[in-house]
Amino acid sequence: MRGIAFVLQRRIDGGWETSHLMTSNANGVDYMDTAPVDTEAFDVIDVGIGGPGPDSVRLPDGLAAGEYRICTDNAGDEFCAQIQIAQ
Protein backbone atom coordinates (compact mmCIF):
# COMPACT_ATOMS: atom_id res chain seq x y z
CA MET A 1 0.00 0.00 0.00
CA ARG A 2 1.10 3.52 -0.72
CA GLY A 3 -0.32 7.00 -1.06
CA ILE A 4 0.05 9.62 -3.78
CA ALA A 5 2.92 11.53 -2.10
CA PHE A 6 6.40 11.24 -3.60
CA VAL A 7 9.70 13.10 -3.23
CA LEU A 8 12.37 13.93 -5.77
CA GLN A 9 15.89 13.56 -4.40
CA ARG A 10 19.23 14.51 -5.97
CA ARG A 11 22.52 12.73 -5.29
CA ILE A 12 24.87 15.17 -3.58
CA ASP A 13 28.25 14.20 -2.11
CA GLY A 14 27.36 10.49 -2.04
CA GLY A 15 24.03 11.02 -0.26
CA TRP A 16 20.49 11.97 -1.26
CA GLU A 17 18.92 15.39 -0.71
CA THR A 18 15.20 16.01 -1.19
CA SER A 19 14.59 18.84 -3.65
CA HIS A 20 10.87 18.59 -4.47
CA LEU A 21 7.57 17.28 -3.10
CA MET A 22 5.29 15.59 -5.59
CA THR A 23 1.85 14.03 -5.91
CA SER A 24 0.92 11.38 -8.46
CA ASN A 25 -2.26 11.02 -10.44
CA ALA A 26 -2.84 7.47 -9.20
CA ASN A 27 -6.14 6.25 -7.78
CA GLY A 28 -8.21 8.55 -9.97
CA VAL A 29 -6.70 11.81 -8.73
CA ASP A 30 -7.12 14.19 -11.67
CA TYR A 31 -3.95 16.26 -11.21
CA MET A 32 -0.24 15.97 -10.48
CA ASP A 33 1.53 18.61 -8.43
CA THR A 34 5.21 19.35 -7.83
CA ALA A 35 6.73 21.98 -5.54
CA PRO A 36 10.15 22.82 -4.07
CA VAL A 37 10.80 21.11 -0.73
CA ASP A 38 10.67 24.43 1.17
CA THR A 39 7.07 25.10 0.09
CA GLU A 40 4.98 25.67 3.23
CA ALA A 41 1.49 24.95 1.91
CA PHE A 42 1.77 21.68 0.00
CA ASP A 43 -1.36 19.60 0.62
CA VAL A 44 -1.57 15.88 -0.12
CA ILE A 45 -4.82 13.93 -0.15
CA ASP A 46 -4.50 10.92 2.18
CA VAL A 47 -5.65 7.98 0.06
CA GLY A 48 -4.49 4.38 -0.08
CA ILE A 49 -3.35 2.81 -3.35
CA GLY A 50 -2.61 -0.83 -4.02
CA GLY A 51 -1.43 -2.67 -7.10
CA PRO A 52 1.39 -2.08 -9.54
CA GLY A 53 0.54 1.43 -10.81
CA PRO A 54 1.44 3.32 -12.86
CA ASP A 55 1.97 6.33 -10.61
CA SER A 56 2.76 9.29 -12.86
CA VAL A 57 4.50 12.35 -11.42
CA ARG A 58 5.53 15.64 -13.03
CA LEU A 59 9.22 16.55 -12.96
CA PRO A 60 9.90 20.23 -12.30
CA ASP A 61 11.13 22.42 -15.16
CA GLY A 62 14.79 23.37 -15.26
CA LEU A 63 16.31 20.42 -13.40
CA ALA A 64 20.10 20.46 -13.47
CA ALA A 65 21.83 17.48 -15.04
CA GLY A 66 22.60 14.77 -12.52
CA GLU A 67 21.49 11.63 -10.73
CA TYR A 68 18.06 11.72 -9.09
CA ARG A 69 15.58 9.32 -7.60
CA ILE A 70 11.82 9.45 -7.07
CA CYS A 71 10.68 7.86 -3.80
CA THR A 72 7.33 7.13 -2.22
CA ASP A 73 6.81 9.49 0.70
CA ASN A 74 3.91 8.00 2.63
CA ALA A 75 4.16 4.25 2.22
CA GLY A 76 4.82 1.64 4.88
CA ASP A 77 8.14 0.92 3.18
CA GLU A 78 9.74 3.61 1.02
CA PHE A 79 10.50 2.59 -2.56
CA CYS A 80 12.68 4.54 -4.97
CA ALA A 81 13.43 4.57 -8.71
CA GLN A 82 16.64 6.21 -9.91
CA ILE A 83 16.71 8.45 -12.97
CA GLN A 84 19.46 10.35 -14.78
CA ILE A 85 18.81 13.89 -16.06
CA ALA A 86 21.02 14.74 -19.05
CA GLN A 87 21.30 18.16 -20.67
Mean pLDDT calculated for residue range 4-21: 94
Q: What is the pLDDT of residue 67?
A: 97
Instruction: Give Cα separations from 86 to 14, 56, 61, 62, 73 (angstroms).
Output: 19, 20, 13, 11, 25
Task: Report which of residues 49 and 36 the model is more confident about.
Answer: 36
Mean pLDDT calculated for residue range 36-60: 82
- Percentage of the residues of the chain whose pLDDT score is greater than 70: 95
Q: What is the pLDDT of residue 77?
A: 73
| 22 and 87 Cβ atoms separated by less than 8 Å | no
pTM confidence score = 0.85
60 CB-near residues (< 8 Å, 6+ apart): 8, 20, 34, 36
Residue-wise pLDDT for 61-80, tens only, equals: 999 999 999 998 877 677 89
